[in-house]
């Protein structure tokens, strides 16, 4: 498999994982929590109009993770490498973000902890899938 093909497979696989995880995390696991905290969110109709931005952000994240992954590749087993990459990227993305949100917004700390744990887990899974896609080249 050519390098460009591996890249686009990694992007697509990463996007699918991120989209699926977001549905499981935000609709299934945290859906009831969000309903209880509805005063923090936009009205549902407004959010539905902007849903395309969620998919765009997931695609952008999958694209960027797929660009960055081969730069730090250490030729270890793909699952090990993907987990390492995913954890590092998850911490890079979510640790500063959650700390800033805790300072700026009056979200419950329990929600911030759930976002952090779920976010790092999601990026770790995406990193693993991206690593596996690159290994098939």
51-88: per-residue pLDDT in tens? 999 999 999 999 999 999 999 888 899 999 999 999 99
In whole angstroms, give the CA distance from residue 51 to residue 39: 19
State the helix-helix crossing angle for 51-68 and 3-22, rounded to 10 degrees. 140
How many domains would you assign to the chain? 1
83-122: per-residue pLDDT in tens? 999 999 999 999 999 999 999 999 999 999 999 999 999 9
Q: 39-74 b/e with 16+ CB inside 10 Å = b?
A: eeeeeeeeeeeeeeeeeeebbebbbebbeebeeeee
Per the structure, the complete domain to which residue 89 belongs is given by: 3-135
pTM of the model: 0.94
């Amino acid at each position: 498999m050519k390098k460009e093909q591996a890249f686009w497979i990694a992007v697509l696989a990463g996007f699918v994982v991120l989209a699926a995880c977001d549905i499981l995390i935000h609709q299934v696991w945290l859906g009831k929590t969000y309903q209880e905290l509805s005063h923090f969110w936009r009205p549902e109709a407004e959010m539905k109009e902007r849903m395309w931005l969620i998919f765009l952000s997931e695609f952008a994240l999958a694209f960027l993770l797929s660009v960055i992954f081969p730069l730090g590749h250490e030729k270890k087993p793909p699952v090990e490498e993907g987990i390492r990459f995913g954890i590092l990227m998850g911490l890079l993305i979510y640790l500063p973000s959650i700390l800033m949100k805790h300072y700026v917004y009056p979200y419950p700390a329990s929600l911030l902890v759930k976002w952090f744990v779920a976010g790092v887990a999601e990026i770790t899974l995406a990193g693993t899938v991206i690593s596996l896609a690159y290994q098939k080249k």
